[in-house]
Amino acid sequence: MERVPVLVVGGGYAGLSAAALLAWREVPVTLVERRPSTSVQPKAFGIGPRAIELLRPLPGIEDELAGIWAGIGDGMRIAIARDLADPEPHLISDGGQAEYAALAELTPAAPVGAPQADVERVLRVKAEELGADLRFSTELVSLEQDDDGVTALVRGKDGDRVIRADYVVAADGHHSELRTALGVPTSGHGTLSRMCSIMFDADLSELVREREVTLWYVRNDTLTGALVTGAGAGAHVLGVHQAADEGPFTAERCVELVRAATGRPGLDVRILDRATFGIAHVLAGSYRAGRVFLAGDAAHTMPPTGGQGGSTALQDGADLAWRLWLVLTGQAGPAFLDTYDAERRPVGTLTADAQLAELGARMPPAARIGYPERLPDPLHALLGHRYHSTAILDEPGDDGSILEDPRLAGGKPGSRAPHIVLDWDGQRLSTIDLFGSGFVLMAAKRGSQAWMEAGRQVKERLGVRLTRLPMDDELLDVEGRFEERYGVSGGGAVLVRPDGYVAWRSPGPVTDPAATLEHVLRQILSRPA
């Protein structure tokens, strides 16, 4: 029998991000994936800034991702048209240039225009370099759990093996067999339609030159679908709605559809790959079942419209990695893991509902049922999610909202820690660069020494990884915005979690900083006195 702290089932976005970030934290992890490799189809396009912030600790990954498909790195211009040759397409997104300018004020992590297939390959390499045990062409056969762990039977090319794990990450997709086997209930609108994704090679230079549109929602008498174009000549992807009574798409049919979508009946087309998948809206009723945690599509399957499904899955995996690390290293109590469901499930539901609304607007004839009338502000949806759980110490008067304007968050507990520019020994960096490897205690310049000493004492007493950072002449607040952005004054302090979220703050000085900080950390980490 093999033994490992964490077993990950599924090698997509959620599974790979969990495995890579667990390995980076030196937690032994085994991942099993029934497919022979990572994705061939591009699938999801683009990664939002919040997911990039969480992946940044992986050495070199930000630069590698930024270099993929640089043609859409500055944002995806989106249009609705009869076909690619339509002389008057309706532009519904200008690439978000104003949005990106606003983002630059809030985070050093720029969103990247990368297809999922390429991102998965990068994550796989990173995870393996860091020591994760990734086993492709290996499927989970059965799983049993008890009070002390989980026993899994897996089947690969070399036969059956039994793996004993402390915890399992169920990242096995929309039709999650683990979710079903564990009896986790689901809600939502289920499968809304089916789509065939067609990868093809063709020269579209004449059609896309100077139009600068990357994603086209195509509606004509032949098809309803979406077309993602590359830089002109080369590979492109067409997704076509498939009628319920329509059989498999042959190569000839795929060529016909590509020509109809491009508006070029005589276009020279070479089909590279095709796959059929369901567009669905399915929400797990719980993200935890004993020692098993649902992530990615197993937790929240959402329509692709809106482009946040992939980023949400990456965030799930990253979120589980730091929580499991805290518990497995004894820094947090086992009950701390309940905070994953409490915090991530509202975000998953909100995001899935927003993408469902986008589906109705962009890709009819998808079923028009239950679409929200108002969509979240894009900036709020990207960086404004708020968490509420026992791992956050809310302040009096908190309204319990789960979405806010990140420009106005002001360092409230449950909100993402604000970005400000710092100078550390002549090097410019962001507060975001400080987070990831453990808790961070930041204190306002006046009165910071009391908090720094308190942090030293509590760190040793509780065995918690805690970095102490006074805003002083060594760590200089370049623009003088720390107190304003974090809502503290002289003698105040802020405690930030490994995921870059504010767990607690003291706006001003307290009588006994060490006792206060120990009490706070014990509450947050589910460690009773």
Catalytic residues: 217
d(CA 44, CA 51): 14
Three-state DSSP at 247 gives coil
- Strand 2-9 and strand 29-33: pairing? parallel
The b-or-e profile of 374-403 (16+ CB within 10 A means b, else e) is eebebbebbbbbbbbbebbbbeeeeeeeeb
Angle at CA of residue 236, ends 85 and 296, nearest 5°: 125
Distance of CA 459 to the CA centre of its chain: 30
C-alpha to C-alpha distances, 345 to 313, 314, 315, 408, 503, nearest whole angstrom:
12, 14, 12, 24, 18
Strands of the sheet with 421-424, listed across from one edge: 427-430, 421-424, 475-477
d(CA 462, CA 522): 8
**Alpha helices, H only, 71-167:** 97-104, 116-129
Angle at CA of residue 201, ends 115 and 355, nearest 5°: 35
Residue 409: HSE in the Cβ half-sphere, 13 Å Cα cutoff: 27
- Strand 502-506 and strand 439-443: pairing? unpaired
d(CA 106, CA 425): 23
d(CA 523, CA 121): 39
118 DSSP 8-state letter: H
- Residue that the structure tokens 């499927």 belong to: 139
| Cα dihedral 288/299/51/54 (nearest 10) | 20
Structure tokens at 179: 């979710």
The answer to whether 389 touches 341, Cβ cutoff 8 Å, is no
The answer to whether 322 touches 498, Cβ cutoff 8 Å, is yes
The answer to whether 407 touches 106, Cβ cutoff 8 Å, is yes
Give the other-Cβ count within 10 Å of 423's Cβ: 14
Q: Helix crossing, 309-328 with 13-24: angle to 10°?
A: 30
- Residue that the structure tokens 């978000």 belong to: 96
Structure tokens at 404: 């806010």
Side chain identity at residue 396, one-letter code: P
